Chain A
Amino acid sequence: MNFLNDPINFIAGWMHGLLTGWGLPDGLTTVIIYFIGITVLIIFAMTLDIFLVWVERKVVARFQDRLGPNRIGPFGLIQPFADIIKLIIKEDITPAGADKLLYNLGPVLAIASVIILWAILPLSSKIFGVDLNVAVLYLVAAGALGTLSIIVGGWASNNKYALLGAFRMVANMISYEIPMVVALLIPTILADTMSVQGITQAQSGMWFAILSPLALIIFLISAIAELGRSPFDLNEAESEIVAGFHIEYTGMKFGLFYAGELLHAFTFGGFIAVLFFGGYGGFFGLEKIGFFSWLNNPFVQAVVFLAKALFGYWVIMWIKYSMPRIRIDHMLAFNWKFLTPLALVVLVNTAILSKVLAGLPNWGYVLGMFFSNIVIGFITVEILRAYGRKQRKAEAKLSPQSTQKQEQAA
């Protein structure tokens, strides 16, 4: 065991030796080491978050044909620190009539619901918090805490707009949790496990994005809805309810909501990488060839993972800055009448095919899965086209006279 092959266990073993050498009992040493490990993971996530502020601002600027922050430091890299100083020295206002405890609990829960996701995020085969056998469900459970943070913050602010934003967010999250859970079941079926390490290793030969592209799309859409980002940013629709659930928050409390949202988006980029793009691995068997064995190094894997996660994050930003906001009834109809049935069809298809095609050689399995998804996608598009045409025809049939008669009757 050396530092390059297994850094976490190496450091943990070294610290264990050091602390027991100081005369601390064995149990206490383990607790201290775990505590330090958790702290380091959180610090890493939060430091990354500072960097994400810069990434987000630069990328949105490029999408909107601007330059973005470019004055402080090279490429504006020091800008986030200026932002943080600004947020810290702003006046901290608690609105009159706010529920003080809950008002302060909201931002804490918002960032906590993201940080706890990092416990299961596998940065590499050796660098990860914990390898839960229910990691996929854990992801859903953490989403529940995120919903709670928005409800608590929106309700405690004693503000109509904040409450409206919280209402919308709850409707959004409760609805889109269903296609998300169904889409999460598909990698679970394909990998035959719910642990993220297992799902990553199952993709060393073939990405699940190729085995089930529809599941990837459904997961991406429901993840964006869960994040509350555009086109599902009804909870903070500026043109209607000013800033939604965090309207009353100032200074660093607003900063926590903002940082939580950015880190949440990046974390979901990471989960898209893990569930569909092979996570830290997924080199299509390349790492087994002697020349490429350095791909198995945990540090290389971590870099690969972070690059894939950043790509996922970039896709989420790309959608955010090129889509208009969806109307609330459309948002609900899209989920219940389109996304959920589609997700269920894909799930049943994957469950049946994974048993039917199990006997086939690997390429037959991959092709069968891929083309079944393409067929389902094609049928879906055709149904949508027929439905759209029917609706347009029904609208065209309504001549001015018949509309008048209807109005008189009503």
Chain B
Amino acid sequence: MTADKIIFLLCAVLILASALMVVTTRKLIHAALWLVAALFGVAILYAVLQASFLAVVQVVVYIGAIAILFIFAVMLTRREMLDKGVQTRSNWWLPALLGLLILAGLVFLILGQPAFGRTAAEMPAGVDTLRNLGTALVSPDAFVLPFEVASVLLLAALVGAVYIASGKKE
């Protein structure tokens, strides 16, 4: 077993356990913090795969912005956010069955892939993944269109937010 595999398995356990805790814990703020742990595990996976940019952006965006806003919103609500009711419904077996079916299908598909079980190729020295990613995002024969569409969408959201917040109370 290589070091990569050990780290991957530890991460997988961390992500799955935290994801389970997100939906089962009864305290809302604990759920948000378990979500942070799960997202952090994903960032570690990216780092192991040598996608350093994705790993850091995962932490900046998902933990630094989204999760913190979640926690902020939760903190603004009542302090004791304990859910005392039953956590399952009577028909819980149906989604569980569906989930297992989807899992089985995914495992079947992945096992059929030719790349399955192969170890990742070593990154050739001198390849700047960050520069390649940056060039790809703005070059016309790569991702410039999705990139610009996303920017316009964000700009629209920004303008909308400013308009709503400008507070023209007539």
Which residues of A come within 8 Å of B, CB atoms? Answer: 27, 31, 99, 102, 132-134, 137-138, 140-141, 143-145, 147-148, 151-152, 155, 158, 163, 166-167, 170, 174, 177, 194
Q: Tell whether, in the assembled complex, residue B64 and residue A170 are in contact, meaning their CB atoms are under 8 Å apart.
A: no
- The residue that B3 contacts in the complex, of A27, A132, A138, with Cβ under 8 A, is A27
Q: Tell me which of B8-16, B49-57, B91-99, B135-143 binds A.
A: B49-57
Q: How large is the interface on B (under 10, 10 to 19, 20 to 34, 35 or more residues)?
A: 20 to 34
Q: Tell whether, in the assembled complex, residue A144 and residue B64 are in contact, meaning their CB atoms are under 8 Å apart.
A: yes
User: Mostly helix, strand, loop or mixed at chain A's interface?
Assistant: helix
Residues of B within 8 A of A145 (CB): 59, 63
Q: Is B36 an interface residue (CB 8 A)?
A: yes
Q: Tell whether, in the assembled complex, residue B130 and residue A144 are in contact, meaning their CB atoms are under 8 Å apart.
A: no
Residues of A within 8 A of B30 (CB): 102
B40 to chain A, nearest CB (A): 9
Q: Tell whether, in the assembled complex, residue A144 and residue B68 are in contact, meaning their CB atoms are under 8 Å apart.
A: yes
- The residue that B72 contacts in the complex, of A31, A141, A152, A170, with Cβ under 8 A, is A170
Which partner residue on chain A sits nearest B74 by CB separation? A155
User: Mostly helix, strand, loop or mixed at chain B's interface?
Assistant: helix
- The residue that A155 contacts in the complex, of B63, B67, B75, B128, with Cβ under 8 A, is B75
Mask, B41-66, CB within 8 Å of A = 1, is 00000000000110011011001110
Which residues of B come within 8 Å of A, CB atoms? Answer: 2-3, 27, 29-30, 33, 36, 52-53, 56-57, 59-60, 63-65, 67-69, 71-72, 75, 79, 128-130
Residues of A within 8 A of B72 (CB): 151, 167, 170
Which partner residue on chain A sits nearest B64 by CB separation? A144
Q: Tell whether, in the assembled complex, residue A102 and residue B64 are in contact, meaning their CB atoms are under 8 Å apart.
A: no
Q: Tell whether, in the assembled complex, residue B71 and residue A144 are in contact, meaning their CB atoms are under 8 Å apart.
A: no
A137 to chain B, nearest CB (A): 4
B164 to chain A, nearest CB (A): 15
Q: Tell whether, in the assembled complex, residue B52 and residue A148 are in contact, meaning their CB atoms are under 8 Å apart.
A: no
Q: Tell whether, in the assembled complex, residue B64 and residue A140 are in contact, meaning their CB atoms are under 8 Å apart.
A: yes
Q: Tell whether, in the assembled complex, residue B64 and residue A155 are in contact, meaning their CB atoms are under 8 Å apart.
A: no
Which partner residue on chain B sits nearest A132 by CB separation? B52
